[in-house]
Chain A
Amino acid sequence: MDTAAALKRSGGNLNRYESLLRRFAESQATAIDDIRVAMVAKDTSTARRLAHSLKGAAANLGLSALAEVAARAESAIESEQDIPLALESLSHSLDSSLDTIRRALPKEAAPTNSAVAVKDLAVATQPLVRLKKLLENDDGDAADFILDARPSLCEVLTVAEIDALVQQVGNFAYSNALQSLSAIATRLSIPLE
């Protein structure tokens, strides 16, 4: 794993790189199954695109061995040759990369509160308002902001709320994140304007 080059590519920011690895591990966990399902459905363009995405994402994160195996799977799907073998290698390579990532990453801070303390609401309101603005503007900075704001958000949000929000923002699924924000605002009875 070429972490140094990948870290540099993602702006030399360790938090950012860790977050990208986390989201990668979550989102690619079912990649091989998804490719196989597409192949069974004779949807080779989807299968190829999934292998292509995995290749690009792996290369960007410094997972060069995985990227190479994914590239071979992509060409196998394209040329319709030795597909089972290529997918088997890809499955092994992906499993081993995901295992390495999961073991290497520090545990994320999680909310310790069981119930929301009303006095702490103010701590989270400001970051939630700011986050909403960033998401509404499709601003790339939201991905950094959620990492920085996580400790304050942990004061008032539930584990499920934090996890969903961090995942959605980290995956740049901003419209989903805005829906989560609005549900959170309703639960806490705070206006986010």
Chain B
Amino acid sequence: MGASPQLKPLQQKLILIVDDTPTNIGVISGALRDSYKTKVATNGAKALSIAAEEEKPDLILLDVMMPEMDTKSVGG
């Protein structure tokens, strides 16, 4: 395979969507899935473990009102 720049696939940006309401994850990821790679988490703890993985999200969309671990403790 030659290193032809125009054949190189565009690197897809990764967006992590965090929300405890599945409908909201569904709508948001549905709007983004066709253009971006998406990862999903229904709670803050899971979001942190995904964010700590090797493949770092380029953007994290974090719900502001979640039970257990609130947004401040995830984001802070």
Interface positions of A (Cβ within 8 A of B)? 6, 9-11, 13, 16-17, 19-20, 23-24, 27, 46, 49, 52-53, 56-57, 60-61, 137-141, 143-144, 170-174
CB nearest neighbor in B for A137: B39
Q: Provide the residues of chain A in CB contact with B31, threshold 8 Å.
A: 9-11
Quick one: which of B31, B34, B67 has the most chain A CB within 10 A?
Answer: B31
Q: Provide the residues of chain A in CB contact with B27, threshold 8 Å.
A: 6, 9-10, 20, 60-61
Q: Provide the residues of chain B in CB contact with A171, threshold 8 Å.
A: 22, 42
CB nearest neighbor in A for B55: A137
* Minimum CB–CB distance for A174 against chain B, Å: 8
Q: Provide the residues of chain A in CB contact with B22, threshold 8 Å.
A: 23, 27, 170-173
Quick one: which of A53, A56, A137 has the most chain B CB within 10 A?
Answer: A53
The secondary-structure label for the interface of chain A is helix
Quick one: which of B25, B26, B40, B65 has the most chain A CB within 10 A?
Answer: B26
With A23-B22, A61-B23, A172-B25 already in contact, the answer to whether A139 and B34 are too (CB < 8 A) is no
Interface positions of B (Cβ within 8 A of A)? 17, 20-27, 29-34, 37-42, 46, 50, 65, 67
Q: Provide the residues of chain A in CB contact with B29, threshold 8 Å.
A: 140, 143
CB nearest neighbor in A for B31: A11
For chains A and B in complex, what number of residue pairs have CB atoms within 8 angstroms?
A: 83
* Minimum CB–CB distance for A153 against chain B, Å: 20
For the complex of A and B, list the 4 residue pairs with the smallest distance between their C-beta atoms, beginning with the closest: A140-B38, A57-B23, A10-B30, A140-B29
A172 to B30, CA, bound (A): 12
B23 touches A24 (CB 8 A): yes
* Minimum CB–CB distance for A123 against chain B, Å: 25
A173 to B25, CA, bound (A): 11
What are 27 sample pairs from A and B whose C-beta atoms fall under 8 A apart?
Answer: A9-B27, A9-B30, A10-B30, A10-B31, A11-B32, A20-B23, A23-B22, A23-B26, A27-B22, A27-B23, A49-B65, A49-B67, A53-B20, A53-B21, A56-B24, A57-B21, A57-B23, A57-B24, A60-B27, A138-B50, A140-B32, A140-B33, A140-B39, A144-B33, A170-B22, A172-B25, A173-B42
